[in-house]
Amino acid sequence: MLQVVQLHKEYDRLQLKYGDPTLSSIYGAGCINNPEVMFIFMNPTGKNISSSHSWKGLRAPWIGTKQVWDIFENLGLLQSRIYLKIKNIRPEEWDYDFANEVYTDIQNHSTFITNLAKCTQIDARPLNNSVFKEYLDLMYKEIEIINPKKIVTFGNQVSSILLDKNISVSKYLGDEGEVLNGYEIYPTYYPVGQGRRNMPLAIGRLMNVLNK
């Protein structure tokens, strides 16, 4: 089991309200039983090929993309063999078996990957805070069910909404963190898209956090 399937129906309801009607929700995936770390990104886009209605396999973050997997390989959370295949195949060459192989490896590395909002958009247009807040109660349930030892939140917006206070990730460069309902939260630079330049900063910080 790679996903918290009991929450999917609610995520699909919110996809109809806030997502693109031609695309499907993308759910969190990986180790769902007390993982060492849970990574929370923003929201999925149509670049994730598993968001297509025709996709019949695992719907999980970043399937069919390349950039973000750099951070997991650098942190030792993804086999180099799998990482090299991700970097060398085209998005459409991801199949159901490979998607499962990737996330089984993420599971084996005691890691869970999710987005605060599961509503898939055509592109990376910004979402209003109010949309993210619609997902907060479900996010808290997801955290409670999975019960991670550490939580990494990417970017100012996600970190601020989850923690319910203004967060500037630039102030968290070592192993500093916050606490929410007993969980350790580590706000971190967003490492992909327009935040690609911050990938080295994110990796450096997370090496400190994971080795804490």
Q: Are 107 and 60 in contact (CB under 8 A)?
A: no
Task: List, for residues 169-193, the tens digit of each pLDDT value.
Answer: 999 989 999 999 999 999 999 998 8
| Residues 63, 92: Cα–Cα separation, whole Å | 10
CA separation for the pair 161, 171 (Å, rounded): 17
What's the pLDDT tens digit per position in 139-172?
999 999 999 999 999 999 999 999 999 999 999 9
pTM over 0.85: yes
Instruction: Specify the amino acid at residue 131.
Output: V
